[in-house]
Chain A
Amino acid sequence: MTIDWSWIGDHTDDLTTLTFSHLQAALSAVFFGLLISLPLAVVAHRVRPLRGFLLGLSNVLFTIPSIAIFVLLLPVSGLTRTTTVIGLTIYSLVVLLRNTVEGLDSVPAKTKEAAKAMGTRPLRTLLTVELPLALPVIMAGVRIATVMSISLVSVATYIGDGGLGQLFTDGFQRNFPTPVIAGVVLTLLLALVADALLVAIQYVLTPWTRRRA
Protein backbone atom coordinates (compact mmCIF):
# COMPACT_ATOMS: atom_id res chain seq x y z
CA MET A 1 0.00 0.00 0.00
CA THR A 2 1.78 3.07 -1.21
CA ILE A 3 0.53 6.59 -0.92
CA ASP A 4 0.97 8.76 -3.97
CA TRP A 5 2.00 11.96 -2.22
CA SER A 6 2.20 13.91 -5.47
CA TRP A 7 -1.54 13.26 -6.04
CA ILE A 8 -2.26 14.77 -2.63
CA GLY A 9 -0.02 17.74 -3.44
CA ASP A 10 -1.83 18.30 -6.74
CA HIS A 11 -5.28 18.09 -5.19
CA THR A 12 -5.05 20.16 -1.99
CA ASP A 13 -7.68 22.58 -3.32
CA ASP A 14 -10.13 19.76 -4.06
CA LEU A 15 -9.45 18.18 -0.68
CA THR A 16 -10.12 21.48 1.09
CA THR A 17 -13.37 22.03 -0.82
CA LEU A 18 -14.56 18.50 -0.07
CA THR A 19 -13.63 18.82 3.60
CA PHE A 20 -15.70 22.00 3.98
CA SER A 21 -18.62 20.55 2.05
CA HIS A 22 -18.41 17.48 4.29
CA LEU A 23 -18.36 19.56 7.45
CA GLN A 24 -21.23 21.73 6.25
CA ALA A 25 -23.47 18.69 5.68
CA ALA A 26 -22.65 17.18 9.09
CA LEU A 27 -23.05 20.43 11.04
CA SER A 28 -26.34 21.33 9.31
CA ALA A 29 -27.67 17.92 10.29
CA VAL A 30 -26.72 18.36 13.96
CA PHE A 31 -28.13 21.93 13.93
CA PHE A 32 -31.51 20.83 12.54
CA GLY A 33 -31.41 17.76 14.78
CA LEU A 34 -31.06 20.02 17.83
CA LEU A 35 -33.74 22.40 16.55
CA ILE A 36 -36.24 19.54 16.29
CA SER A 37 -35.16 17.43 19.25
CA LEU A 38 -35.11 20.17 21.92
CA PRO A 39 -38.87 20.94 21.82
CA LEU A 40 -39.66 17.23 21.28
CA ALA A 41 -37.53 16.30 24.31
CA VAL A 42 -39.27 18.90 26.49
CA VAL A 43 -42.64 17.45 25.43
CA ALA A 44 -41.43 13.87 25.97
CA HIS A 45 -40.09 14.87 29.40
CA ARG A 46 -43.32 16.53 30.55
CA VAL A 47 -45.98 14.36 28.93
CA ARG A 48 -45.32 10.84 30.15
CA PRO A 49 -47.52 8.95 27.63
CA LEU A 50 -45.74 10.65 24.71
CA ARG A 51 -42.34 9.80 26.10
CA GLY A 52 -42.42 6.09 25.29
CA PHE A 53 -43.89 6.78 21.88
CA LEU A 54 -41.29 9.39 20.86
CA LEU A 55 -38.31 7.42 22.19
CA GLY A 56 -39.61 4.18 20.65
CA LEU A 57 -40.16 5.88 17.30
CA SER A 58 -36.64 7.29 17.29
CA ASN A 59 -35.22 3.85 18.11
CA VAL A 60 -37.05 2.33 15.13
CA LEU A 61 -35.69 5.10 12.89
CA PHE A 62 -32.19 4.16 14.04
CA THR A 63 -32.57 0.58 12.80
CA ILE A 64 -33.11 1.80 9.23
CA PRO A 65 -29.76 1.62 7.41
CA SER A 66 -28.26 5.00 6.48
CA ILE A 67 -28.07 4.15 2.77
CA ALA A 68 -31.73 3.09 2.95
CA ILE A 69 -32.75 6.41 4.54
CA PHE A 70 -31.02 8.36 1.78
CA VAL A 71 -32.58 6.17 -0.88
CA LEU A 72 -36.04 6.31 0.69
CA LEU A 73 -35.77 10.11 0.58
CA LEU A 74 -34.99 10.14 -3.14
CA PRO A 75 -38.65 10.41 -4.25
CA VAL A 76 -39.05 13.39 -1.90
CA SER A 77 -35.93 15.47 -2.41
CA GLY A 78 -33.96 13.77 -5.22
CA LEU A 79 -30.18 13.62 -5.67
CA THR A 80 -29.47 16.78 -3.68
CA ARG A 81 -27.70 18.08 -0.61
CA THR A 82 -31.15 18.38 0.99
CA THR A 83 -31.48 14.59 0.93
CA THR A 84 -28.09 14.25 2.64
CA VAL A 85 -28.99 16.73 5.35
CA ILE A 86 -32.48 15.29 5.98
CA GLY A 87 -31.07 11.76 6.22
CA LEU A 88 -28.32 12.77 8.63
CA THR A 89 -30.77 14.89 10.65
CA ILE A 90 -32.97 11.83 11.19
CA TYR A 91 -29.95 9.93 12.53
CA SER A 92 -28.70 12.70 14.80
CA LEU A 93 -32.25 13.21 16.07
CA VAL A 94 -32.25 9.73 17.61
CA VAL A 95 -29.15 10.40 19.72
CA LEU A 96 -30.06 14.00 20.56
CA LEU A 97 -33.63 13.22 21.63
CA ARG A 98 -32.57 10.38 23.92
CA ASN A 99 -29.80 12.39 25.57
CA THR A 100 -31.87 15.54 25.97
CA VAL A 101 -34.69 13.62 27.68
CA GLU A 102 -32.14 11.91 29.95
CA GLY A 103 -30.55 15.27 30.67
CA LEU A 104 -33.87 16.83 31.68
CA ASP A 105 -34.61 13.75 33.81
CA SER A 106 -31.32 14.22 35.63
CA VAL A 107 -32.30 17.66 36.98
CA PRO A 108 -33.04 17.18 40.70
CA ALA A 109 -36.73 17.63 41.61
CA LYS A 110 -35.71 19.82 44.56
CA THR A 111 -34.01 22.31 42.27
CA LYS A 112 -37.18 22.63 40.21
CA GLU A 113 -39.27 23.02 43.38
CA ALA A 114 -36.92 25.72 44.62
CA ALA A 115 -37.33 27.58 41.34
CA LYS A 116 -41.11 27.25 41.62
CA ALA A 117 -41.08 28.44 45.25
CA MET A 118 -39.14 31.52 44.19
CA GLY A 119 -41.98 32.33 41.82
CA THR A 120 -40.17 31.46 38.61
CA ARG A 121 -42.59 30.74 35.78
CA PRO A 122 -42.41 27.31 34.07
CA LEU A 123 -40.91 28.59 30.79
CA ARG A 124 -38.27 30.56 32.66
CA THR A 125 -37.50 27.55 34.85
CA LEU A 126 -37.02 25.49 31.72
CA LEU A 127 -34.71 28.01 30.07
CA THR A 128 -32.69 29.18 33.05
CA VAL A 129 -32.70 26.17 35.39
CA GLU A 130 -33.51 22.89 33.69
CA LEU A 131 -31.75 23.24 30.33
CA PRO A 132 -28.49 24.60 31.81
CA LEU A 133 -28.39 21.77 34.36
CA ALA A 134 -29.15 19.23 31.64
CA LEU A 135 -26.40 20.68 29.46
CA PRO A 136 -23.64 18.13 30.26
CA VAL A 137 -25.86 15.20 29.20
CA ILE A 138 -27.21 17.13 26.19
CA MET A 139 -23.65 18.00 25.13
CA ALA A 140 -22.65 14.34 25.39
CA GLY A 141 -25.43 13.66 22.87
CA VAL A 142 -24.29 16.53 20.64
CA ARG A 143 -20.78 15.09 20.62
CA ILE A 144 -21.97 11.60 19.64
CA ALA A 145 -24.34 13.03 16.99
CA THR A 146 -21.61 15.23 15.51
CA VAL A 147 -18.98 12.48 15.25
CA MET A 148 -21.58 10.06 13.86
CA SER A 149 -22.82 12.57 11.28
CA ILE A 150 -19.29 13.37 10.13
CA SER A 151 -18.66 9.67 9.58
CA LEU A 152 -22.04 9.09 7.88
CA VAL A 153 -21.81 11.95 5.36
CA SER A 154 -19.65 9.70 3.19
CA VAL A 155 -22.53 7.24 2.73
CA ALA A 156 -24.29 9.97 0.73
CA THR A 157 -21.66 9.46 -1.96
CA TYR A 158 -24.00 6.81 -3.39
CA ILE A 159 -26.63 9.46 -4.04
CA GLY A 160 -24.08 11.78 -5.64
CA ASP A 161 -23.18 13.92 -2.61
CA GLY A 162 -21.09 12.80 0.34
CA GLY A 163 -18.28 15.36 0.74
CA LEU A 164 -15.07 13.43 1.39
CA GLY A 165 -16.98 10.24 0.56
CA GLN A 166 -16.58 11.17 -3.09
CA LEU A 167 -12.91 10.28 -2.68
CA PHE A 168 -13.96 6.70 -1.86
CA THR A 169 -16.00 6.23 -5.04
CA ASP A 170 -13.30 7.99 -7.04
CA GLY A 171 -10.51 5.78 -5.69
CA PHE A 172 -12.62 2.66 -6.10
CA GLN A 173 -13.51 3.36 -9.73
CA ARG A 174 -9.87 4.06 -10.64
CA ASN A 175 -8.44 1.28 -8.46
CA PHE A 176 -6.30 3.97 -6.78
CA PRO A 177 -5.98 3.82 -2.95
CA THR A 178 -4.50 7.28 -2.31
CA PRO A 179 -7.77 9.29 -2.44
CA VAL A 180 -9.45 6.65 -0.26
CA ILE A 181 -6.72 6.90 2.37
CA ALA A 182 -6.87 10.70 2.22
CA GLY A 183 -10.65 10.56 2.66
CA VAL A 184 -10.51 8.22 5.65
CA VAL A 185 -7.76 10.24 7.37
CA LEU A 186 -9.48 13.60 6.75
CA THR A 187 -12.81 12.24 8.03
CA LEU A 188 -11.15 10.96 11.22
CA LEU A 189 -9.32 14.28 11.69
CA LEU A 190 -12.53 16.25 11.16
CA ALA A 191 -14.33 14.12 13.75
CA LEU A 192 -11.45 14.49 16.21
CA VAL A 193 -11.26 18.29 15.84
CA ALA A 194 -15.05 18.73 16.03
CA ASP A 195 -15.21 16.58 19.15
CA ALA A 196 -12.37 18.50 20.83
CA LEU A 197 -14.09 21.81 19.98
CA LEU A 198 -17.35 20.59 21.51
CA VAL A 199 -15.51 19.57 24.70
CA ALA A 200 -14.06 23.09 24.84
CA ILE A 201 -17.48 24.67 24.27
CA GLN A 202 -18.96 22.56 27.05
CA TYR A 203 -16.12 23.58 29.37
CA VAL A 204 -16.88 27.26 28.74
CA LEU A 205 -20.67 26.84 29.00
CA THR A 206 -20.72 24.91 32.28
CA PRO A 207 -18.39 26.70 34.71
CA TRP A 208 -20.22 25.27 37.75
CA THR A 209 -19.20 21.69 36.94
CA ARG A 210 -15.54 22.66 37.12
CA ARG A 211 -15.60 23.97 40.68
CA ARG A 212 -17.01 20.69 41.96
CA ALA A 213 -14.21 18.70 40.34
Chain B
Amino acid sequence: MSDTFRRPHDPMVVVRGLTRTYGTGPAPVHALRAVDLEVRAGELVAVVGRSGSGKTTLLNLVGGLDRPDAGTVEVDGTEVTALDDDGRSRLRRDTVAFVFQTFGLMPALTAAENVGVPLRLRRTPAAAREERVALLLDLVGLRDHADQRPGELSGGQQQRVAIARALAGSPRLLIADEPTGQLDAETGLAVMALLRAVVESEGVTAIVATHDPVMMSLADRVLTIADGRVGE
Protein backbone atom coordinates (compact mmCIF):
# COMPACT_ATOMS: atom_id res chain seq x y z
CA MET B 1 0.00 0.00 0.00
CA SER B 2 1.21 3.44 -0.78
CA ASP B 3 2.31 5.51 2.21
CA THR B 4 0.88 8.70 0.84
CA PHE B 5 -2.79 9.44 1.26
CA ARG B 6 -4.56 9.48 -2.08
CA ARG B 7 -7.10 12.23 -2.48
CA PRO B 8 -10.41 11.74 -4.30
CA HIS B 9 -10.00 12.07 -8.04
CA ASP B 10 -6.31 11.03 -7.86
CA PRO B 11 -5.82 7.92 -9.99
CA MET B 12 -6.09 4.74 -7.92
CA VAL B 13 -5.49 2.47 -10.89
CA VAL B 14 -3.33 3.33 -13.83
CA VAL B 15 -3.07 0.85 -16.68
CA ARG B 16 -0.67 1.44 -19.56
CA GLY B 17 -0.29 -0.68 -22.69
CA LEU B 18 -1.68 -3.79 -21.01
CA THR B 19 -1.54 -6.81 -23.26
CA ARG B 20 -2.47 -10.39 -22.55
CA THR B 21 -2.58 -13.19 -25.05
CA TYR B 22 -3.69 -16.75 -24.30
CA GLY B 23 -2.20 -19.61 -26.20
CA THR B 24 0.46 -19.68 -28.84
CA GLY B 25 0.78 -20.96 -32.35
CA PRO B 26 -1.52 -20.23 -35.27
CA ALA B 27 -4.59 -19.16 -33.25
CA PRO B 28 -3.67 -17.21 -30.12
CA VAL B 29 -6.45 -15.41 -28.25
CA HIS B 30 -5.69 -11.72 -27.71
CA ALA B 31 -7.65 -11.03 -24.54
CA LEU B 32 -6.25 -7.52 -24.07
CA ARG B 33 -4.49 -5.37 -26.65
CA ALA B 34 -2.42 -2.46 -25.30
CA VAL B 35 -5.13 -1.24 -22.95
CA ASP B 36 -4.75 2.13 -21.25
CA LEU B 37 -7.05 3.36 -18.52
CA GLU B 38 -7.22 5.17 -15.24
CA VAL B 39 -9.62 4.78 -12.34
CA ARG B 40 -9.80 7.53 -9.79
CA ALA B 41 -9.93 6.92 -6.06
CA GLY B 42 -13.48 6.49 -4.71
CA GLU B 43 -14.86 5.83 -8.16
CA LEU B 44 -17.13 2.90 -9.00
CA VAL B 45 -16.34 1.79 -12.52
CA ALA B 46 -18.37 -0.76 -14.39
CA VAL B 47 -16.61 -2.80 -17.07
CA VAL B 48 -19.00 -4.18 -19.58
CA GLY B 49 -18.60 -6.31 -22.61
CA ARG B 50 -19.60 -9.58 -24.18
CA SER B 51 -18.44 -12.88 -22.82
CA GLY B 52 -14.82 -13.44 -23.78
CA SER B 53 -14.25 -9.76 -24.40
CA GLY B 54 -11.45 -9.60 -21.79
CA LYS B 55 -13.28 -8.20 -18.74
CA THR B 56 -12.10 -10.87 -16.34
CA THR B 57 -8.57 -10.78 -17.79
CA LEU B 58 -8.40 -7.05 -17.15
CA LEU B 59 -9.64 -7.47 -13.57
CA ASN B 60 -7.25 -10.34 -12.89
CA LEU B 61 -4.29 -8.33 -14.14
CA VAL B 62 -5.28 -5.28 -12.13
CA GLY B 63 -5.71 -7.40 -8.99
CA GLY B 64 -2.43 -9.25 -9.46
CA LEU B 65 -4.05 -12.64 -10.04
CA ASP B 66 -2.40 -12.91 -13.44
CA ARG B 67 0.65 -11.49 -15.23
CA PRO B 68 0.47 -9.49 -18.46
CA ASP B 69 2.52 -10.16 -21.54
CA ALA B 70 3.23 -6.47 -21.83
CA GLY B 71 2.29 -3.19 -20.19
CA THR B 72 2.07 -2.01 -16.63
CA VAL B 73 -0.54 -1.81 -13.91
CA GLU B 74 -0.20 0.60 -11.04
CA VAL B 75 -2.52 0.31 -8.07
CA ASP B 76 -2.44 2.91 -5.36
CA GLY B 77 1.00 3.95 -6.52
CA THR B 78 2.41 0.41 -6.59
CA GLU B 79 3.40 -1.14 -9.85
CA VAL B 80 1.65 -4.49 -9.67
CA THR B 81 3.32 -5.90 -12.75
CA ALA B 82 6.73 -5.48 -11.15
CA LEU B 83 5.83 -7.41 -7.99
CA ASP B 84 7.00 -10.92 -7.27
CA ASP B 85 4.68 -13.61 -5.83
CA ASP B 86 5.10 -12.36 -2.25
CA GLY B 87 4.54 -8.77 -3.31
CA ARG B 88 1.35 -9.66 -5.12
CA SER B 89 0.18 -11.64 -2.10
CA ARG B 90 0.80 -8.56 0.01
CA LEU B 91 -1.10 -6.45 -2.51
CA ARG B 92 -4.12 -8.77 -2.33
CA ARG B 93 -3.90 -8.87 1.43
CA ASP B 94 -3.54 -5.12 2.04
CA THR B 95 -4.80 -3.16 -0.93
CA VAL B 96 -7.05 -5.09 -3.25
CA ALA B 97 -10.07 -7.23 -2.45
CA PHE B 98 -12.08 -9.44 -4.74
CA VAL B 99 -15.69 -10.43 -5.09
CA PHE B 100 -16.10 -13.38 -7.40
CA GLN B 101 -19.01 -14.63 -9.41
CA THR B 102 -18.65 -17.96 -7.61
CA PHE B 103 -18.34 -16.22 -4.22
CA GLY B 104 -15.03 -17.87 -3.32
CA LEU B 105 -15.94 -18.53 0.29
CA MET B 106 -14.28 -21.17 2.46
CA PRO B 107 -16.90 -23.91 2.90
CA ALA B 108 -15.39 -25.11 6.19
CA LEU B 109 -15.76 -21.69 7.84
CA THR B 110 -18.89 -19.97 9.06
CA ALA B 111 -20.06 -16.70 7.54
CA ALA B 112 -18.46 -14.74 10.39
CA GLU B 113 -15.22 -16.69 10.09
CA ASN B 114 -15.13 -16.09 6.34
CA VAL B 115 -15.56 -12.37 6.87
CA GLY B 116 -12.82 -12.46 9.51
CA VAL B 117 -10.21 -14.09 7.24
CA PRO B 118 -8.59 -10.83 6.01
CA LEU B 119 -8.47 -9.57 9.60
CA ARG B 120 -6.81 -12.76 10.79
CA LEU B 121 -4.25 -12.37 8.03
CA ARG B 122 -3.34 -9.04 9.59
CA ARG B 123 -3.34 -10.55 13.09
CA THR B 124 -6.06 -8.18 14.22
CA PRO B 125 -6.79 -8.81 17.92
CA ALA B 126 -9.80 -11.04 18.49
CA ALA B 127 -12.01 -8.38 20.07
CA ALA B 128 -11.41 -5.83 17.32
CA ARG B 129 -11.88 -8.52 14.71
CA GLU B 130 -15.19 -9.64 16.13
CA GLU B 131 -16.41 -6.08 16.35
CA ARG B 132 -15.49 -5.40 12.71
CA VAL B 133 -17.03 -8.70 11.54
CA ALA B 134 -20.27 -7.94 13.36
CA LEU B 135 -20.33 -4.49 11.83
CA LEU B 136 -19.83 -5.81 8.33
CA LEU B 137 -22.39 -8.58 8.73
CA ASP B 138 -24.79 -5.92 9.91
CA LEU B 139 -23.89 -3.89 6.89
CA VAL B 140 -24.73 -6.74 4.52
CA GLY B 141 -27.75 -7.75 6.60
CA LEU B 142 -26.51 -11.14 7.71
CA ARG B 143 -25.94 -10.72 11.41
CA ASP B 144 -28.38 -13.53 12.14
CA HIS B 145 -26.52 -15.87 9.83
CA ALA B 146 -23.10 -15.33 11.33
CA ASP B 147 -22.67 -18.96 12.44
CA GLN B 148 -23.93 -20.56 9.28
CA ARG B 149 -21.64 -22.12 6.75
CA PRO B 150 -21.75 -21.12 3.06
CA GLY B 151 -23.51 -24.39 2.22
CA GLU B 152 -26.34 -23.35 4.50
CA LEU B 153 -26.79 -19.95 2.86
CA SER B 154 -28.54 -18.93 -0.34
CA GLY B 155 -26.55 -17.62 -3.33
CA GLY B 156 -27.39 -14.01 -2.54
CA GLN B 157 -26.46 -14.44 1.09
CA GLN B 158 -23.16 -16.01 0.08
CA GLN B 159 -22.38 -13.12 -2.22
CA ARG B 160 -23.15 -10.69 0.58
CA VAL B 161 -20.78 -12.59 2.83
CA ALA B 162 -18.19 -12.35 0.06
CA ILE B 163 -18.68 -8.57 -0.12
CA ALA B 164 -18.40 -8.29 3.64
CA ARG B 165 -15.21 -10.30 3.53
CA ALA B 166 -13.86 -8.14 0.73
CA LEU B 167 -14.45 -5.05 2.82
CA ALA B 168 -13.17 -6.51 6.05
CA GLY B 169 -9.56 -5.64 5.37
CA SER B 170 -10.46 -2.05 4.43
CA PRO B 171 -9.06 -2.40 0.89
CA ARG B 172 -8.32 0.60 -1.27
CA LEU B 173 -9.58 -1.21 -4.36
CA LEU B 174 -12.48 -3.60 -4.68
CA ILE B 175 -12.60 -5.78 -7.78
CA ALA B 176 -15.85 -7.61 -8.45
CA ASP B 177 -16.11 -10.02 -11.35
CA GLU B 178 -19.72 -10.41 -12.35
CA PRO B 179 -20.89 -10.50 -8.74
CA THR B 180 -24.48 -11.03 -9.74
CA GLY B 181 -23.80 -13.61 -12.42
CA GLN B 182 -25.21 -16.48 -10.39
CA LEU B 183 -28.01 -14.60 -8.71
CA ASP B 184 -31.60 -14.00 -9.66
CA ALA B 185 -32.58 -10.51 -10.73
CA GLU B 186 -33.98 -9.39 -7.39
CA THR B 187 -31.05 -10.66 -5.39
CA GLY B 188 -28.66 -9.27 -7.96
CA LEU B 189 -30.21 -5.85 -7.59
CA ALA B 190 -29.86 -6.00 -3.83
CA VAL B 191 -26.20 -6.99 -4.13
CA MET B 192 -25.49 -4.17 -6.54
CA ALA B 193 -27.18 -1.66 -4.29
CA LEU B 194 -25.10 -2.97 -1.49
CA LEU B 195 -21.91 -2.57 -3.52
CA ARG B 196 -22.81 0.96 -4.37
CA ALA B 197 -23.58 1.70 -0.74
CA VAL B 198 -20.38 0.24 0.65
CA VAL B 199 -18.24 1.99 -1.96
CA GLU B 200 -19.63 5.20 -0.65
CA SER B 201 -19.63 4.34 3.02
CA GLU B 202 -16.19 2.72 3.06
CA GLY B 203 -14.63 5.07 0.59
CA VAL B 204 -13.14 2.40 -1.59
CA THR B 205 -12.55 2.36 -5.30
CA ALA B 206 -14.41 -0.38 -7.15
CA ILE B 207 -14.10 -1.96 -10.56
CA VAL B 208 -17.02 -4.21 -11.37
CA ALA B 209 -17.25 -6.41 -14.41
CA THR B 210 -20.88 -6.90 -15.30
CA HIS B 211 -23.46 -7.55 -17.96
CA ASP B 212 -26.14 -6.01 -15.86
CA PRO B 213 -27.60 -2.66 -17.03
CA VAL B 214 -28.68 -1.88 -13.46
CA MET B 215 -25.13 -2.08 -12.27
CA MET B 216 -24.10 0.17 -15.13
CA SER B 217 -26.64 2.72 -14.01
CA LEU B 218 -25.23 2.66 -10.49
CA ALA B 219 -21.63 3.09 -11.67
CA ASP B 220 -19.80 6.41 -11.80
CA ARG B 221 -18.33 5.43 -15.11
CA VAL B 222 -18.82 2.60 -17.58
CA LEU B 223 -15.93 1.17 -19.54
CA THR B 224 -16.75 -0.94 -22.53
CA ILE B 225 -14.36 -3.65 -23.51
CA ALA B 226 -14.52 -5.29 -26.88
CA ASP B 227 -12.03 -7.39 -28.75
CA GLY B 228 -9.42 -6.66 -26.09
CA ARG B 229 -9.70 -2.90 -26.33
CA VAL B 230 -11.27 -0.54 -23.80
CA GLY B 231 -13.44 2.44 -24.55
CA GLU B 232 -15.87 4.65 -22.62
Same complex for A and B? Answer no
Residues of B with Cβ closer than 8 Å to A? Answer: none
Q: A residues engaging B (CB < 8 A)?
A: none
